[in-house]
C-alpha cells in the first residue's frame, strides 16, 4: 500500500509517495539538488554532503538523499547559505586528494569537475593536502587511482548491491580512509572480482577507469548500473 503525501519544494506543492526521499521527489519533478555520492539504483548513504537542504522546522540542514518525505514537509533546495556550504564541500573534496584534471582520463566527463564548474568554484580557498597516494594497476583491464577518489562509495555499493560480489570496502578512518579491495589485497589478485567493470562505470571521477584511455577519453556509462538495478527491482 503506497501512501500519497503532499510536500512543498521551493514553495511548489508536489505529490509524492511516502518512503521516497527528498532527493528522489525533487529530481522526479525537475528540481536540481547537487549530489555526488547518490546514484539512482543504489542505496543512499549521505556521504558527500552536497545535497544538504533546508527543511522547515528543523534547525539543522538535512541530506536530501537520505531524508524520507512526509506529509506537509517543506523543503528549500537553494539559498545563499546552502550555496556557500555546497561550495565549501566541493572545495574540501578538491583539497583532500590530488585532483589534477589536466592529466585525468575523466576530465570533461567528471562529476566533481562539473560540480566545481557549475558552482562557480574558480579556485580553492583551503590549503591543498597533497597526499602521497598509490595507483593500483594490478587488474588486467581496470585501474584504481587513489589520487582521484572522493570516497563516495558508489563502487562499493554497486559491487555489493548490483553485482553481488562485494569486492570493495572502506578501510581506515577520517582523512586516512581508503578504498580497499578484498581486505587490502591488490585488485588484480582479488578472487571475488568478476571483472564486470560496473564499479568503474559508477565512479564519478577518474579514480576508476578502464586501461588504455588517454586524457579526457574515459566516458562512463553510469546509466547502465542504474538501469540494471531498476530491472532487477521489477522482478
Partner 1 sequence: MDKVKIGTCWLDGCSGCHMSLLDLDEGIVGVLEKADIVFGPLVDAQEWPEGVDVALIEGAVSSQDDLDLALTARERSKIVVALGDCAVTGNVPSMRNGIPTRKLLERVYVEGATEGRGVPTDGVPALLKQAEPLHSAIKVDVHVPGCPPKPDAILFVVGALLEGRMPDLGSKLRFG
Q: Which residues would be at the binding site for partner 1 (CB under 8 A)? A: 94, 98-104, 107-108, 113, 116-117, 120-124, 127-128, 130-133, 216
Reading the block at residue 8, the C-alpha cell is 512543498
Q: Name the CA dihedral angle for 81, 84, 85, 89, rounded to a multiple of 10 degrees.
A: 170
Strands 4-9 and 74-76: parallel
Instruction: Work out how close the CB of 11 gets to partner 1 at its nearest, in angstroms, rounded to a whole number.
Output: 26
Instruction: Work out how close the CB of 68 gets to partner 1 at its nearest, in angstroms, rounded to a whole number.
Output: 35
Instruction: Give the nearer residue to partner 1 in terms of CB position, either 49 or 99.
Output: 99
C-alpha distances in Å from residue 18, one per residue of 15, 21, 73, 75: 10, 8, 11, 15
Spatial separation of the C-alpha atoms in residues 77 and 23, rounded to whole Å: 10
Spatial separation of the C-alpha atoms in residues 35 and 43, rounded to whole Å: 14
Instruction: Give the nearer residue to partner 1 in terms of CB position, either 205 or 226.
Output: 205
Reading the block at residue 5, the C-alpha cell is 503525501
Instruction: Work out how close the CB of 116 gets to partner 1 at its nearest, in angstroms, rounded to a whole number.
Output: 6
Instruction: Work out how close the CB of 142 gets to partner 1 at its nearest, in angstroms, rounded to a whole number.
Output: 22
Instruction: Give the nearer residue to partner 1 in terms of CB position, either 107 or 226.
Output: 107
Instruction: Give the nearer residue to partner 1 in terms of CB position, either 95 or 228.
Output: 95
C-alpha distances in Å from residue 86, one per residue of 36, 118, 126: 11, 11, 14
Beta-bridged to residue 5, according to DSSP, are 16
The sign of the dihedral angle between the CA atoms of 50, 169, 98, 220 is negative
CB atoms within 10 A of CB 89: 19
CB atoms within 10 A of CB 145: 22
Instruction: Work out how close the CB of 114 gets to partner 1 at its nearest, in angstroms, rounded to a whole number.
Output: 10
Instruction: Give the nearer residue to partner 1 in terms of CB position, either 10 or 216.
Output: 216
Instruction: Give the nearer residue to partner 1 in terms of CB position, either 33 or 121.
Output: 121
Instruction: Give the nearer residue to partner 1 in terms of CB position, either 147 or 153.
Output: 147
Instruction: Work out how close the CB of 154 gets to partner 1 at its nearest, in angstroms, rounded to a whole number.
Output: 21
Spatial separation of the C-alpha atoms in residues 137 and 211, rounded to whole Å: 9
Instruction: Work out how close the CB of 101 gets to partner 1 at its nearest, in angstroms, rounded to a whole number.
Output: 3
Amino acid at each position: 500500500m503506497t501512501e500519497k503525501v503532499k510536500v512543498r519544494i521551493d514553495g511548489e506543492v508536489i505529490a509524492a509517495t511516502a518512503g521516497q526521499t527528498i532527493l528522489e521527489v525533487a529530481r522526479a519533478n525537475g528540481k536540481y539538488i547537487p549530489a555526488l555520492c547518490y546514484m539512482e539504483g543504489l542505496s543512499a548513504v549521505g556521504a558527500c554532503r552536497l545535497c544538504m537542504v533546508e527543511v522547515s522546522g528543523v534547525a539543522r540542514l538535512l541530506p536530501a538523499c537520505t531524508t524520507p518525505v512526509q506529509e506537509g514537509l517543506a523543503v528549500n533546495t537553494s539559498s545563499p547559505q546552502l550555496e556557500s556550504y555546497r561550495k565549501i564541500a566541493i572545495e574540501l573534496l578538491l583539497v583532500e586528494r590530488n585532483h589534477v584534471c589536466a592529466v585525468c582520463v575523466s576530465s570533461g566527463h567528471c562529476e566533481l569537475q562539473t560540480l566545481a564548474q557549475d558552482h562557480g568554484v574558480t579556485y580553492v580557498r583551503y590549503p591543498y593536502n597533497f597526499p602521497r597516494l598509490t595507483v593500483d594497476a594490478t587488474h588486467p583491464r581496470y585501474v584504481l587511482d587513489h589520487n582521484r577518489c572522493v570516497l563516495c562509495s558508489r563502487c562499493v555499493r554497486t559491487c555489493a548491491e548490483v553485482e553481488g560480489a562485494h569486492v570493495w570496502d572502506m578501510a581506515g578512518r577520517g582523512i586516512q580512509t581508503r578504498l580497499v579491495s578484498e581486505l587490502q589485497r591488490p585488485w588484480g589478485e582479488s578472487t571475488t572480482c568478476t571483472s564486470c567493470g560496473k564499479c568503474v562505470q559508477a565512479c564519478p571521477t577518474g579514480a576508476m577507469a578502464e586501461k588504455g584511455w588517454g586524457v579526457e577519453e574515459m566516458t562512463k556509462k553510469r546509466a547502465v548500473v542504474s538501469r540494471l538495478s531498476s530491472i532487477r527491482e521489477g522482478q
